[in-house]
A and B are shown apart, each in its own frame.
Chain A
């Protein structure tokens, strides 16, 4: 986590640029669907769809930040154009497979919750494992294998970062409580919050992931 904070500090300009150039417009466009889901009455199911849509909105942005951390941690430079290019080439597969996985989660939630919760972490693992040249089958296979091999660690990370962001979010809401919170102000606050916090979470997760995969490679070598 300390290394992640160091590299986050070093690459702050690129991260903020990525946030303003990519994350804000994509967020603005896709949150229209989230808003219009508020006016739909599907008998209570629309809130679950809205939750999955919001998770997908974060999963889209992970891959370029992970690539940035991967390059920076071995003292290589990464241009901003490459980040944009990797975002453009990763959005399709992550959206399609993410929609399929979230359909599985949606079905699993109605099968007494537990299968849905078990499938849901794949949404976070898939963008980290994604590579542009690998095939679809290899990608899904390696991510499922990674999830099965590191089941406990994945859940520990998810619970830890959920608690972390929730605590900070409580603080932010407490600070901004003098504002009159309507839907748009709430979403703008959440956007600014996630522009700052989300890259740091991705950086520390990728630090964790890289250390875990290195250990596995060392075992293979030995």
Chain B
């Protein structure tokens, strides 16, 4: 249940944030990078207190990427599913951002608890 709750929060935050940021950032590449960092960083922030934080962040990031790719392929007709480069880089970037953000937020928590 906790995993599905986090998944829903991150999905809705991603949709809302990307809609708002379209108004602020005209450049497509910068926009998608900012949205990616925000949403997977939020994922890492929410999963930092779980029992297996790194593993759950990794798997939830994979799930989100699969959802996004399927949606783009079958709803909007963008050719994303069968392009090996796009698949590789979206998975690598998403999982790396999620795991690094879990690491950072756990460090911050530990430092705050220590001091």
A, B bound: yes
Distance, CA A173 to CA B35, complexed state (A)? 40
- A92–B16 contact, CB under 8 A? no
The answer to whether the Cβ of A183 comes within 8 Å of any Cβ in the partner chain is: no
Closest-CB distance, A119 to chain B (whole angstroms): 20
Q: Interface size (B, Cβ < 8 Å)?
A: 13
Which chain A residues (90-109) contact chain B, with CB distance < 8 Å? Answer: 90-96
Partner of B5, one of A26, A36, A40, A93: A93
Distance, CA A139 to CA B16, complexed state (A)? 28
Closest-CB distance, A130 to chain B (whole angstroms): 10
- A91–B8 contact, CB under 8 A? yes
The answer to whether the Cβ of A25 comes within 8 Å of any Cβ in the partner chain is: yes
The answer to whether the Cβ of B12 comes within 8 Å of any Cβ in the partner chain is: yes
The answer to whether the Cβ of A89 comes within 8 Å of any Cβ in the partner chain is: yes
Asked whether A92 and B11 contact (CB < 8 A) given A134-B1, A135-B1, A136-B1, the answer is: yes
Q: Which residues of A contact B11 (CB under 8 A)?
A: 92, 95
Closest-CB distance, B73 to chain A (whole angstroms): 14
Q: Which residues of A contact B80 (CB under 8 A)?
A: none
The answer to whether the Cβ of B21 comes within 8 Å of any Cβ in the partner chain is: no
Interface centre among A36, A92, A93 (most CB of B within 10 A): A92
- A96–B16 contact, CB under 8 A? no
Closest-CB distance, A132 to chain B (whole angstroms): 8
Closest A residue, CB atoms, query B16: A29
Q: Is the interface of A mostly helix, strand, loop or mixed?
A: helix
Q: Is the interface of B mostly helix, strand, loop or mixed?
A: helix
The answer to whether the Cβ of A10 comes within 8 Å of any Cβ in the partner chain is: no
- Interface residues as binary, B1-40 with A (CB distance below 8 Å gives 1, 0 otherwise): 1001111110110011001000000000000000000000
Q: Which residues of A contact B16 (CB under 8 A)?
A: 25, 29
The answer to whether the Cβ of A88 comes within 8 Å of any Cβ in the partner chain is: yes
- A92–B5 contact, CB under 8 A? yes
Distance, CA A52 to CA B16, complexed state (A)? 21
Q: Which residues of B contact A88 (CB under 8 A)?
A: 9
- A96–B4 contact, CB under 8 A? yes
Which chain A residues (73-129) contact chain B, with CB distance < 8 Å? Answer: 88-96
Closest-CB distance, A122 to chain B (whole angstroms): 17
Which chain B residues (32-78) contact chain A, with CB distance < 8 Å? Answer: 75
Closest-CB distance, B87 to chain A (whole angstroms): 23
Q: Show the binding face of A for B, using Cβ within 8 Å.
A: 25-26, 29, 32, 36, 40, 88-96, 132, 134-136, 139
**6 closest Cβ pairs, A-B complex:** A92-B8, A92-B5, A91-B8, A93-B4, A92-B4, A136-B1
List 11 additional contacts besides A90-B5, A93-B4; criterion CB under 8 Å. A29-B19, A89-B9, A91-B8, A91-B9, A91-B12, A92-B6, A93-B5, A93-B8, A94-B8, A132-B5, A134-B1
